[in-house]
Each structure stands twice: as C-alpha cells, then as structure tokens.
Structure 1
Amino acid sequence: MSADPDPFTLGERAARENIPAEANPYHEGSEEHALWSAGHERVATELEANQSEGT
C-alpha cells in the first residue's frame, strides 16, 4: 500500500469537499493532472445528478 493516495482518489476527495476543479495541484499536461481531473469530474457529476434528483 502506498503512503500517498493516487491523484484520482485525491481528485474525488477534492470534489466531495467542494474544492473547485481549478485547484488541481498537478502540473497541467501531466498524467497526475489528468487523473486528478478525472476523479474530480466523476464525483462532481455524481453530486450534481444527486442534487437534481433531490437526494
């Protein structure tokens, strides 16, 4: 088990904590940046869908 969560997991966590996607801490164009963005987008989309359903 690695000491640091992977960028995807960190992006998911950031979205759950209402941290904007623009706060991605990784260098734009890097694999980590893409993974963080993907994690953030997955959770943000899920949260938006839940809000529109009223849950």
Structure 2
Amino acid sequence: MSADPDPFTLGERAAHENIPAEANPYHEGSEEYALWAAGHERIATAREANESEGT
C-alpha cells in the first residue's frame, strides 16, 4: 500500500518544474496548503539565492 505523496514534497516538485506558487492545489488555510507552500518556497528561495550569486 503506497501513501499519497506528501504535500511538502509536491510543493518542492512544483517549484522544480517552474509551476507558480499560485497553482497550489490545496484549499487555502488547510494544513496541506501550508505544507505545499512551504515546500515550494524552500526550492524557490534556494533557486533565487543561486541566481543572485551567479551560480
């Protein structure tokens, strides 16, 4: 039996695929929404930091 993917992981994947944060599939205010947003933000922030450093 496989569990559904973790919303945090799905948010990270979306950021890697350049899917905007506004595309969060979960209901705003839900725990899943917050987890997805946190995963997305983690990747997006790291990407922005790398771009500003020129790497």
C-alpha RMSD of matched pairs (Å): 1.3
CA offsets, 1:1-55, max 9 Å, x none? 7432100000000011110000000000100000000000000000000011111
Q: Runs of 4+ in structure 1 displaced over 4 angstroms?
A: none
Q: Percent identity of the aligned residues?
A: 87
Quote the residue 1:6 is aligned against: 6
Q: TM-score, normalised by structure 1?
A: 0.92
SS of residue in 2 equivalent to 1:11: helix
Q: TM-score, normalised by structure 2?
A: 0.92
Unaligned runs of 5+ in 1: none
Unaligned runs of 5+ in 2: none
